């Protein structure tokens, strides 16, 4: 055990999971109550994780223990149960904020802990269920209801500020031509300290844990002060540009105008409403276009909350969905983030982002990595586990909507009205990868055939019986029927198998 207290000396204890590390998870405790933090190497032994994810979790736990000084007990134990037993703490004396996975929720109840409603989100799960009732889950409806309910960017008459709920049409600009970056200042990254050095040295000795990805300077906040600084940095330097270039990708600019706040938010270091407040405040102060402020609000009280709420509302078995019957195991080069094995510039760059930092932005996740997994029929459970474990912000609750629903269409269309399969034409428009690629986005067959273009057609061909009735795919299927080289494309992609493109 690390840190520790002797048996029988602890009265009121709040167990904080490693994604509950901000003040809103413990500020309600009485002065004599303590916070219990558990480091579990065992948890990392159970499945592979990105090296930088292990780093940030351990760093965040130790940083909070340090910041709380004498009020936190930080123990290292194989499991939470063994941590409690080792300290002589009766679980029935422990309070806990409802955790973020089905398994953890079962466990805290089995232990007889006092379970408090979830925090770190904007709405209780029961309130969401009341709102949802029997209606079809549609994000836009939920988002507008959230805006009204929370009074965010609303006029007194109940209409949205600027007269529009949605600026998506203005926010789909391709990357600026002839620029390698958006030209924004480098984000103010956290400065590593002795806690990072200690964790890094310890991880170097972990020979019984499979860590993927490269080590590298820590780019994401792991403590409250760092998280607030990251929020301030985003609002000051990137928020204004966030909206218009939300969907654009530049190979030389891994951040673009994104916030980098999912990691601290998902560690529980920032409350989503404080992020929204900072965004709205900056908009009111001037200099931030409404289309950017609205875009960020939409991401946080719309998409993030949607992912969280649907994780619970759709039930645990939703994650087992495999509507397209995808059974391909993840090839090693993909599973192990071997970017150097890949020639396709877009996929190589995406895997490099994940290998080097355990993060990439939304369009890279959805339209490059997710689309590749969809087209190639990667098994959904394995793919969701890969996203969860390779990304620093990955947790079970975020996977169901984004991976099972959006990226893989494994729920048969409950979340997305059509599969998000991207061909080379889309990637050529929204990224600058194609011009430096060995393949050509317009070529379907032959040595320079773009694997995304050919893969797109081969995907449509493979799933024609299931998907041809989808009216949103009427045009693509009409296109497929007109393809003179359809058989050759399908045979070529079949022959590609699971090889790195």
Ligand X SMILES: Cc1cc2nc3c(=O)[nH]c(=O)nc-3n(C[C@H](O)[C@H](O)[C@H](O)COP(=O)(O)OP(=O)(O)OC[C@H]3O[C@@H](n4cnc5c(N)ncnc54)[C@H](O)[C@@H]3O)c2cc1C
Of 14-22, 105-113, 176-184, 432-440, the segment contacting ligand SF4 by CB under 6 A is: 432-440
Cβ distance to ligand SF4 smaller for residue 271 or 428: 428
Is residue 441 part of the contact set for ligand SF4 (CB under 6 A)? yes
Instruction: HSE, CB side, 13 Å, CA atoms: give it for residue 323.
Output: 22
Among 22, 32, 5, smallest CA distance to 97 is for 22
- List helix spans (H) across 159-260: 194-204, 224-237, 239-242
Tokens at residue 103, please?
């398994």
- Taking the complex as a whole, the smallest distance from the CB of residue 407 to ligand X amounts, in Å, to 4
- Residue 54: count other Cβ atoms within 10 Å of its Cβ: 23
What is the C-alpha separation between 341 and 501, in angstroms, rounded? Answer: 8
- Residue 424 binding result from ligand SF4, ligand X, none, given CB thresholds of 5 to 8 Å by partner type: ligand SF4
Cβ distance to ligand SF4 smaller for residue 65 or 427: 427
Is residue 437 part of the contact set for ligand SF4 (CB under 6 A)? yes
Cβ distance to ligand SF4 smaller for residue 356 or 432: 432
Cβ distance to ligand X smaller for residue 339 or 480: 339
Is residue 424 part of the contact set for ligand SF4 (CB under 6 A)? yes
What is the C-alpha separation between 161 and 170, in angstroms, rounded? Answer: 16
- Taking the complex as a whole, the smallest distance from the CB of residue 396 to ligand X amounts, in Å, to 9
Under 8 Å between Cβ of 154 and 148: yes
Residue from the set 36, 96, 337, 427 that interacts with ligand SF4 by CB under 6 A: 427
Residue from the set 97, 199, 212, 307 that interacts with ligand X by CB under 6 A: 307
Residue from the set 142, 303, 312, 459 that interacts with ligand X by CB under 6 A: 303
Residue from the set 199, 212, 248, 398 that interacts with ligand X by CB under 6 A: 398
Tokens at residue 430, please?
């929204």
- Residue 247 binding result from ligand SF4, ligand X, none, given CB thresholds of 5 to 8 Å by partner type: none
- Taking the complex as a whole, the smallest distance from the CB of residue 300 to ligand SF4 amounts, in Å, to 30
What is the C-alpha separation between 294 and 152, in angstroms, rounded? Answer: 9
What is the C-alpha separation between 407 and 368, in angstroms, rounded? Answer: 10
Of 138-146, 191-199, 252-260, 342-350, the segment contacting ligand SF4 by CB under 6 A is: 342-350
Of 231-239, 391-399, 435-443, 477-485, the segment contacting ligand SF4 by CB under 6 A is: 435-443
What is the C-alpha separation between 313 and 326, in angstroms, rounded? Answer: 24
Tokens at residue 393, please?
């912000």
Restricting to residues 355-384, which ones interact with ligand X according to CB under 6 A?
361-362, 365-366, 370
- Residue 439 binding result from ligand SF4, ligand X, none, given CB thresholds of 5 to 8 Å by partner type: ligand SF4
Tokens at residue 466, please?
């299931």
Tokens at residue 268, please?
């529980």
Is residue 439 part of the contact set for ligand SF4 (CB under 6 A)? yes
Under 8 Å between Cβ of 14 and 36: yes
- Residue 163: count other Cβ atoms within 10 Å of its Cβ: 8
Tokens at residue 342, please?
């890949």
Residue from the set 238, 433, 444, 463 that interacts with ligand SF4 by CB under 6 A: 433
Is residue 432 part of the contact set for ligand SF4 (CB under 6 A)? no
Under 8 Å between Cβ of 412 and 323: yes
Of 111-119, 132-140, 259-267, 344-352, the segment contacting ligand X by CB under 6 A is: 259-267
- Residue 42: count other Cβ atoms within 10 Å of its Cβ: 15
Helix (H) or strand (E) holding 212: strand 211-212
- Residue 213 binding result from ligand SF4, ligand X, none, given CB thresholds of 5 to 8 Å by partner type: none
- Taking the complex as a whole, the smallest distance from the CB of residue 2 to ligand X amounts, in Å, to 28
- Residue 362 binding result from ligand X, ligand SF4, none, given CB thresholds of 5 to 8 Å by partner type: ligand X
Under 8 Å between Cβ of 90 and 12: no
Residue 341 per-residue DSSP state: G
What is the C-alpha separation between 165 and 61, in angstroms, rounded? Answer: 39
Under 8 Å between Cβ of 223 and 56: no
Restricting to residues 405-464, which ones interact with ligand X according to CB under 6 A?
406-407
Restricting to residues 343-382, which ones interact with ligand SF4 according to CB under 6 A?
344-346
Secondary structure E strands in 21-116: 34-39, 49-50, 72-76, 94-97, 114-116
- Residue 373 binding result from ligand SF4, ligand X, none, given CB thresholds of 5 to 8 Å by partner type: none
* Contact residues for ligand X, defined by CB under 6 A: 258-262, 265-266, 299-300, 303-304, 307, 361-362, 365-366, 370, 387, 391, 393-394, 398, 402-403, 406-407
Which residues lie near ligand SF4 (CB under 6 A)? 344-346, 424, 427-428, 433-434, 437, 439-441, 450-452
């Amino acid at each position: 055990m690390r840190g520790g207290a002797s048996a029988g000396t602890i009265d009121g204890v709040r167990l904080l999971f490693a994604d509950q590390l901000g003040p809103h998870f413990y500020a309600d405790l009485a002065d004599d109550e303590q916070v219990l933090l558990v480091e579990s190497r065992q948890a990392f032994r159970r499945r592979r994780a990105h090296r930088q994810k292990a780093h940030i979790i351990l760093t965040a736990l130790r940083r909070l223990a340090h910041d709380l000084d004498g009020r936190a007990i930080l123990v290292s134990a194989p499991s939470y149960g063994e941590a409690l037993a080792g300290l002589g703490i009766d679980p029935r004396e422990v309070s806990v904020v409802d955790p973020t996975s089905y398994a953890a929720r079962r466990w805290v109840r089995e232990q007889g802990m006092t379970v408090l409603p979830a925090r770190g989100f904007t709405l209780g799960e029961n309130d969401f269920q009341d709102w949802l009732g029997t209606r079809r889950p549609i994000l836009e409806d939920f988002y507008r209801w959230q805006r009204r309910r929370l009074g965010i960017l609303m006029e007194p008459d109940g209409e949205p500020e600027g007269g529009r709920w949605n600026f998506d049409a203005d926010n789909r600009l391709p990357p600026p031509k002839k620029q390698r970056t958006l030209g924004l200042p480098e984000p103010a990254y956290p400065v590593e300290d002795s806690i990072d050095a200690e964790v890094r040295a310890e991880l170097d000795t972990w020979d019984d844990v499979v860590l993927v990805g490269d080590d590298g300077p820590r780019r994401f906040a792991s403590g409250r002060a760092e998280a607030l600084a990251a929020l301030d940095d985003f609002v000051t330097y990137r928020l204004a540009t966030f909206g218009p270039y939300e969907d654009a990708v530049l190979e030389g600019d891994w951040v673009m105008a994104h916030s980098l706040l999912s990691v601290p938010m998902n560690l529980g270091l920032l409350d989503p409403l404080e992020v929204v407040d900072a965004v709205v405040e900056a908009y009111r102060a001037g200099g931030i276009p409404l289309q950017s402020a609205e875009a960020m609000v939409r991401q946080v009280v719309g998409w993030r909350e949607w992912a969280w709420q649907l994780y619970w509302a759709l039930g645990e078995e939703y994650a087992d969905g495999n509507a397209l019957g995808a059974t391909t195991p993840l090839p090693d080069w993909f599973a192990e983030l071997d970017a150097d094995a890949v020639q396709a510039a877009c996929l190589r760059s995406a895997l490099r982002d994940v290998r080097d930092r355990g993060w990439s932005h939304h369009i890279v996740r959805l339209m490059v990595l997710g689309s590749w997994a969809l087209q190639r029929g990667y098994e959904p459970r394995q793919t969701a586990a890969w996203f969860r474990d390779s990304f620093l912000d990955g947790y079970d609750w975020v996977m169901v909507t984004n991976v099972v629903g959006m990226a893989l269409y494994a729920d048969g269309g409950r979340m997305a009205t059509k599969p998000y399969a991207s061909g080379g034409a889309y990637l050529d428009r929204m990224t600058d990868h194609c011009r430096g690629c060995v393949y050509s986005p317009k070529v379907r067959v032959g040595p320079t055939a773009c694997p995304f273009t050919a893969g797109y057609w081969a995907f449509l061909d493979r799933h024609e019986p299931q998907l041809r009735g989808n009216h949103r795919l009427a045009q693509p299927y009409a296109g497929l029927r007109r393809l003179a080289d359809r058989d050759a494309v399908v045979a070529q992609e079949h022959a590609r198998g699971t090889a790195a493109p």
